[in-house]
Amino acid sequence: MNRNELPDKINNFNVYDGRTCLIGISSQIDLPEFSPLTDTLNVAGIAGEIESETIGSFGSMKVEIPFCNISGDFFAFAASTNPVILRGALEVFDKNTQSKRISNVVITIKGRTMNIKPGALKKGGKGEPSVTKEITYIKIVIDNAVQLELDKLNSIFIMGGVDLYADIRNAI
């Protein structure tokens, strides 16, 4: 995307367990917050405290994947350690030409199942079960360019095309 483009909306998306497209996922998946580990810096020579982040280190991150109803796919997904891949079509509005184009968004998440909520049995309705995964790896790619990659187990943190953990890996 460039400065003349305005991200509009996710037109549609699919969820994959490795390579298999899962049917029955609900219409929304909330992505995790990135809250860095911090420590308070309170030393002589500064006027007060500063909450200082630890570069590339983040607290526990979870993603809840909701389904419409329980199924064999739901339980297979809960048992799986395959990566979760979200593939979306983002409508992008061009401010100069007044036209739209589709931008591809791919989000890859790796982690372990931490919570299984079988949901409810509801006459004529959705049971809304969900699986929660603890995230050890997440990568967000837009138009084939890596925008964010966090690999907690391999000390990688890239944001906006900059490897923010490279100097730390080189130092140790």
Residue 123, pLDDT score: 92
- Asked if residue 111 has pLDDT above 80, the reply is yes
Q: What is the spatial distance between Cα 147 and Cα 103, in angstroms, rounded to a whole number? A: 13
| Cα distance between residue 32 and residue 101, in whole Å | 27
Question: In the predicted model, is pLDDT for residue 94 greater than 80?
Answer: yes
Q: Select the more confidently predicted residue: 53 or 3.
A: 53
pLDDT reported for residue 148: 97
Indicate the pTM of the whole model: 0.91
Q: Say how far apart CA 101 and CA 7 lie, in whole Å.
A: 10
CB 22 within 8 A of CB 15: yes
Q: What is the mean pLDDT of residues 54-81?
A: 93
Confidence band (pLDDT; 50, 70, 90) for 8? very high
What are the CA-CA distances from residue 154 to residues 95, 106, 151 (Å)?
40, 21, 6
- The pLDDT of residue 3 is above 90: no
- For range 3-12, the mean pLDDT: 93
Say what the pLDDT of residue 87 is: 95
Give the least confident one: 14-23, 30-39, 88-97: 14-23
